[in-house]
Every structure is written in C-alpha cells, then in structure tokens.
Amino acid sequence: STAQEPMNKSEAHTVTEFVLLGFPGDWEIQILLFSLFLIVYILTMIGNGAIICAVKWDQRLHTPMYILLGNFAFLEIWYITSTVPSMLENFLSETKTISFAGCFLQFYFFTSLGTTEAYFLCIMAYDRYLAICHPLHYPTKMTLQHCYTLISVCWMLGFLSYFLSTVQISQLTFCGPNIIDHFICDLDPLMALSCAPDPTTEILFYVISSLIIILTAIYLLGSYILLLRAVLRVPSAAGRRKAFSTCGSHLAVVCLFFGSLMIMYVSPTSDNSGEAQKIITLFYSVVTPFLNPLIYSLRNKEMKAALRKVIGISSE
C-alpha cells in the first residue's frame, strides 16, 4: 500500500477540512446547548449594541471614558461573533466540519480580538487612573484625539500580534487525522494534528501569548492598586463606596478574563483535559462579552439614563 510511504510536501497537505467535536451529547443535549448559546449570543448583541447606540446618540457621553466603552462594546460583539455562530452551526450539524481556511481564519480572528480586548482593558484602566488620580490634568492629557489614537493603536497591535504565528501554523503539514476535540480552532488541538510538528512555532506562539497576557495583567494590577490607594484617600464614605463599587466590578471582569486566559495560554495546557479546556475557553470567549455590558454600564448613572433614552423610556 502506498499509504505507508512517506509523503512529500505537496502530497502531505491533504487535510481540506477539520471536524470540530464541540460538546458531547445526544441530539436533545445539542438542541438544549444550541438554545442556551443562542440566547446568550442575542443578549450579548443587544447589551453591547445598546451601549454603542447610547454613546453615539447621547451628546453627554461624547467623552473619552464613554467613547472607550462604546468601542469596547463594539469589540465584544466581534469577539463573541468569532466563536458562537460557528458553535451554533456545529450543534445542528451532523458532520461538524469546518474548512481548512475557515479554521485558520477563526483561529486568527479569535486570538487577535482576544488580544485587542486585553489591550483595551489596559487603556480603560489608564483612563480611570488619570481621571481619579490626576483629575486636574485629565482634560489636557486624555483629549478626544489622544483617546482615538489609543483606540487605533489597540486595534492595530491586536491584529498584528499573532499574524506571523497564524501564517506559520497554517504552513505546517496536516495529513490526517483531522478531528479537533474543541468547539473552536485553537492552538493546542491544531498543533496536535500536525504530522510534522514544529516546536519553534509553538514556543514562539506561547512566548508571545505569555508576554502579552502577563505584561497586560501586571499593568492592570498596578493601575487598580494605584486607583484603590487614591480611593482610600477620598474623604466622603459615599464617594469611597461609589469608587470601590466601580473598581470592584472592573476588577471582576479583569480577573475572570485574565484568570481563564492564563490557565489556557501561560500554564502548560497539556495537563488540562479536553473538557476542561472547553470550559475554560467558554469563560473568556463567551461569558466575559456577555457580562461586560452589565458590569461596565449598569453601575453607571449616566449610562443608565442614556440606555433608557435608547430603549425609549424618557429619563426626563
């Protein structure tokens, strides 16, 4: 049989599609999961969409803090869209296949948008740090032009960070098997399927991931420590309580997002079972975009008033 003969480079690239196993279970479980994720997806789109509309239509929200929040909501819509629609299709599919190009496009957009989110959390923390710790310099330091520059840099860096790695991984030879025990195309399962593994590519990806995650996490931690120090100096108890509730809710999102990211991309993930990897991935890919509109907006008086206007309940 010629199947035993070593394949040359042109013949080896035989995998044209991958099979994403997703979540195990019979048809009833697949329908239940489909319904659950569809509801979460719709609610995430509505929540983040309402924030974008509120920031766009309410003149009082045309300030750096809210412009950042509106852009963050826009990012969250794209981030959840990079995974959930294909998951929904997968639940109802009998073959559960994804094309070779589709798999790597999803991998690239999913990692790039996740990285952009990490950078966005940093500039949002920087904005809050300036507003609370340096209120007198805030209007001159955080101008609208400076704000838009930071947003542009975030998007550019987010999409450049993994461009080279994604191209390198897609160049590896995949000659079968083609079954991915995950609901998305992620690094670990893809590297496991390559029939000519390239440790350098894998190490490079993990070095970039670890640097981005650890450095942004340290920056955020530092920002919130300085914020809390400033908050503790606030003379009024009511002011302290308000600032604490804001910082606390922001920290909750940061911990959930970065905690699950670190488990996946900084610690050696070969120790995590397939099911554990899926659950951890769900936290940063689906749960955080779903919770962020609630956490960032519903504790904010101006945003609540603007959202009421969007929905049509006059706040006056």
pLDDT in tens, 262-311: 888 776 655 567 788 888 889 889 998 998 888 877 667 778 888 888 77
At 262 the pLDDT is 84
Task: Indicate whether 156 pLDDT > 90.
Answer: yes
CA pair distance 278, 274, nearest whole angstrom: 6
pLDDT at 107 over 70: yes
Residue 232's pLDDT is 81
**Residue 69 scores a pLDDT above 80:** yes
Dihedral over Cα of 230, 236, 238, 239: its sign:
negative
pLDDT band at 191 (very low <50, low <70, confident <90, very high): confident
| Most confidently modeled range among 15-19, 38-42, 192-196 | 38-42
- The length of the chain in residues reads 316
Residue 91 reports pLDDT greater than 90: yes
Per-residue confidence (pLDDT) for residue 32, from 0 to 100 = 95
Question: What's the mean pLDDT in 107-134?
Answer: 92
The structure's pTM equals: 0.87
Torsions phi, psi for 224 (to 5 deg) = -70, -30
Cis geometry, peptide bond prior to residue 177 (ω within 30 degrees of 0): yes
Fold of 17-311: Rhopdopsin 7-helix transmembrane proteins (1.20.1070)
Tell me what pLDDT residue 2 has: 39
Positive or negative torsion for Cα 280, 284, 285, 287: positive
Q: Taking CA 275 as the corner, what is the angle to CA 274 and CA 276, rounded to the nearest 5 degrees?
A: 90
Q: Band the pLDDT of 104: cuts 50, 70, 90.
A: very high
Percent of residues, the chain, with pLDDT higher than 90 = 47
